[in-house]
Structure 1
Amino acid sequence: MAETIELRQLTTINELQQVQQLEEAVWNMKPIPIHQTLTAVKNGGIMVGAYQGEKLIGFSYGFAGFQNGRTYLCSHMLGIDEGLRGQGIGALLKEAQKQAAIDKGYKVITWTYDPLESVNAFLNLSKLKAICSTYIENCYGDMEDSLNQGLASDRFQVEWWIQSSHVAERNMDDAAAAKRIPYELTAAGQPKLVNVDASLLIEQEAWLIPIPKHFQEIKKDHLELALDWRLKTRRIFQTLFNKGYAAVKVVKTADEPVHYYLVKKRDTLPLESEDQK
């Protein structure tokens, strides 16, 4: 990147208008009304912007959440200028959001993403070290934007325990002993998850669950195969999460068409701030 990126919290009407313009460019949908975002950032919400010079090139938006006696930051949107994606701006925005949330007293940030999107998965779990043990079927209903059209909007709801040892310490998890769920290749050379009776998944210390490296390409050219991935992984993750497991990282591969989620028992993770909620 030719210019230095400046990160700052956005609180003015003019700044939030810039966010609206970027929203429309990223998703081609009507943006969130300013009266909502302005009220949110005045009442515990956080809007972080990334600037190159005077141009807003990315933002993250979160608002205050409350459930079961605890507060958290609900991270609702993260958008980046199309021409600047893949340059680490998303990670910078999340880290700035994390620090702002700590300054406001939050211990947890939560958000959703499509579990079959491997780039988002790697950022959220491996880089940021969020975890997931909640799977939501068709979370947002039928969506018509280009990334989501044609499939149920299933989502992982992740938890980022921003003041825990799990996030602060270097994670040296060894996936070698994890039980691997296999896949096969179709006649077109695309990965396809084998049929697995999720109800028969036995207790293991850890599991490796494959997902395609390039899910959007599969969805574009092989929609039935994309649906197959959606339904099979849905059953597997729901079963394991109900048994007390959590997805904790993404294991990348160099010579396979898939990456793998590493899934471990949630109660083995150092989330000590859970006890302080």
Structure 2
Amino acid sequence: MIDIREVKTIEQLEQVQQLEYNVWSMPPIPIHQTLTAVKNGGIVVGAYDGDKLVGFSYGFAGFREGKSYLCSHMLGIDKNYRSQGIGESLKQAQQVIAIERGYDLMVWTFDPLETRNGYLNLSKLNGICHTYIENCYGEMQDGLNKGLPSDRLEVSWYLTSDYVVHDVAIDATTAVNVANCIFNEQDLPYLKMSENSIFNNDIYTLPVPKDFQTLKIQDPALALDWRLKTRRLIQKLFAQGYTAVQLQQQENYNEYVFVKLATLGLEGAN
């Protein structure tokens, strides 16, 4: 049985460091930084199998335009414990602690083409995205990010909102595709763009690959094509007032769902 609990001590943070390295194969965050964050509004939660740390979520206090929030910077799970709902449990535990400490907003970033993360952040947790950051972390050299611009979507998770608490449903049956996913002679997916640049429907969908990491290995040039085309389309949608609200899993590809931000009734969202 997996136990979720808050991480506070140096010894626990040393375990977090080791798991960071195992997940990303890059130098971990120094303990003097994570410990200081924990003592000053940050929240770290860990998932334990007995005494073994198998997952964690690390966040620190943020402040922007007169509002404080929790910036949830990292979530990592041991490769042998993935697809067991641990990520969702970690975020939910972080949510409870954050609300107790006075936060009503949590933000973090993720790669829009890593759809496992997109499904958790949007479809499971009811986060939303309306900010796109090009090459957010520069040229990263870890195994998951090497070779492509580190584009990110910023998730806004309105912790106490009706949209999150009451799991407000989004009906995507009338959605219009902004592009189409086609398969080439090698049976690899590519994105066929349309010429439309003005979006005036209530709801749209955008296809994305099911397994972007495998696609990067099979055809790096095609992976870059996905990065640049989806960047362009998502930025256009955001500029015209839409926000990403779901990641739907189809048979051969996945797709993001976009609606007008103003229709969600999220006070203070812009």
Q: Please give the TM-score of this superposition, normalised by the length of structure 1.
A: 0.94
| 1:140 alignment counterpart | 137
Measure, in 2, the Cα distance between the counterparts of 1:13 and 1:203. Answer: 53
Aligned partner of residue 267 in structure 1, secondary structure: helix
1:89-131 Cα shifts (integer Å, max 9, x gaps): 1111010011111011101100000001111100000000000
- Specify the SS of the correspondent of 1:8: strand
Amino acid at match of 2:52: K
Q: Is 1:155 aligned with 2:185? A: no
Cα distance in 2 for partners of 1:7, 1:22 equals 15
Question: What is aligned with 1:271?
Answer: 266
Residue equivalent to 1:168: 165
- Offset at 1:197? 3.6
Mapped to 1, the partners of 2:83 and 2:140 lie a distance apart of 24
Determine the structure 1 residue equivalent to 2:201.
Answer: 204
Deviation at 1:196, TM superposition (A): 3.1
Report the TM-score when normalising by structure 2: 0.97
Q: What is the letter of the counterpart of residue 252 of structure 1?
A: Q
2:32 counterpart of 1:48: no
Alpha-carbon distance in structure 2 between the residues aligned to 1:142 and 1:196: 30
Task: Kindly report which structure 2 residues correspond to 1:3-152, keeping only aligned pairs within 5 A, or say none.
Answer: 4-152=1-149
| Aligned residue number for residue 224 of structure 1 | 221
* Runs (4+) off by over 2 Å: 195-198
Matches of 2:85 and 2:22, distance apart in 1: 19
Select which of 258, 266, 271 maps to 2:253: 258
2:214 aligned with 1:214: no
Amino acid paired to 1:66 = F
Answer yes or no: is the 8 Å Cα contact 2:162–2:168 preserved in 1.
Answer: no
* % identical aligned pairs: 52
**Partner of 1:243 in structure 2?**
240
Aligned residue for 1:194, secondary structure, equals: strand
Deviations, residues 51-109 of structure 1 (Å, cap 9, x unaligned): 11111111100000001000000000111111111111111101001111101110110
In structure 1, list runs of 5 or more residues that go unmatched: none
Aligned equivalents of 2:63 and 2:213: distance in 1?
34
Distance in 1 (alpha carbons) for counterparts of 2:19 and 2:247: 29
Letter in 2 for 1:191: P
Alpha carbon RMSD of aligned pairs, Å? 1.3
Structure 2 segments unaligned to the other structure (5+ residues): none
